Amino acid sequence: MGLRDIGLKEEYRSDRDDIVAEFFFPCLSHCIEYDRCVDFLSIQSLATIAMAFDNFSSGKAKLRMITGHRFKISELSTLTKLFSEKYTKRFDGQFIKDSKIQKLQDIVNNGQIELKVAIPNSEQITDSFSERIGLFLDEHDQMVAFTGTSKESFSTQTRDFESVDVFTSWNDKSRVDRKRKDFEELWENKTKYVEVYDYLYAEENSLLKFSSEWAYNV
């Protein structure tokens, strides 16, 4: 089965749909690559993606994520340990159960997750990166693109009221191709007004920020 077999709708909205259960998880279960731009990334959401991404277990799936540069202090520490070889691979389960974070570590070590950070470099962008796009690709080269949600949060306690617009390569190829091009240009740091860095480079060069606002809102 692939993405085309899910029976996707053109829009999901919080008052009518369970966006996570009806859209995100089915797409994750049927894809081999997930590309995502978010304004904020947490260990919890990254681990949940890894658990829902069925094809990770086969070693053939890949996640590429671009996030904004604001993090909780505790999240920075754990993300750095996950992506850096100079840290030991031991975690105390403070954020999530040991089994989940160990699976996440294994996937990172296998090169299946890549993380980059986008930082505004223009006076025309006054705050932070918060583009809202995502793309799923399956083994049949079919693709689903979406826009509309700004956070990668799967917690039932912290979900926003939101809507997601969905575009498929079999019904709206030109729109999907445009979103794919937008993501690739971001990933290759070819987009105006932002600089995109590998996560570890940004962390080692003190480019990441801590904001108390995220501690309360996410």
pTM higher than 0.75: yes
- Please give the pLDDT value at position 217: 43
CA distance to 40, 72, 82, 99, 111, per residue, from 134 (Å): 14, 23, 23, 27, 20
Walking along the chain (218 residues) 10 residues at a time, the average pLDDT comes out as: 93 89 91 92 83 74 90 82 68 56 82 92 74 93 88 58 91 96 97 93 85 43
- Please give the pLDDT value at position 81: 85
- Please give the pLDDT value at position 156: 53
Helices (H), the chain: 19, 25-29, 43-52, 73-83, 98-109, 173-187, 199-204, 212-217
- Please give the pLDDT value at position 214: 40
Q: How far apart are CA 143 and CA 204, in angstroms?
A: 35
- Please give the pLDDT value at position 126: 67
CATH number of 183's domain: 3.30.870.10
18: domain range? 3-217
- Please give the pLDDT value at position 59: 73
Structural domains counted in the chain: 1
Number of residues in the chain: 218
Q: How far apart are CA 38 and CA 213, in angstroms?
A: 16
- Please give the pLDDT value at position 86: 59
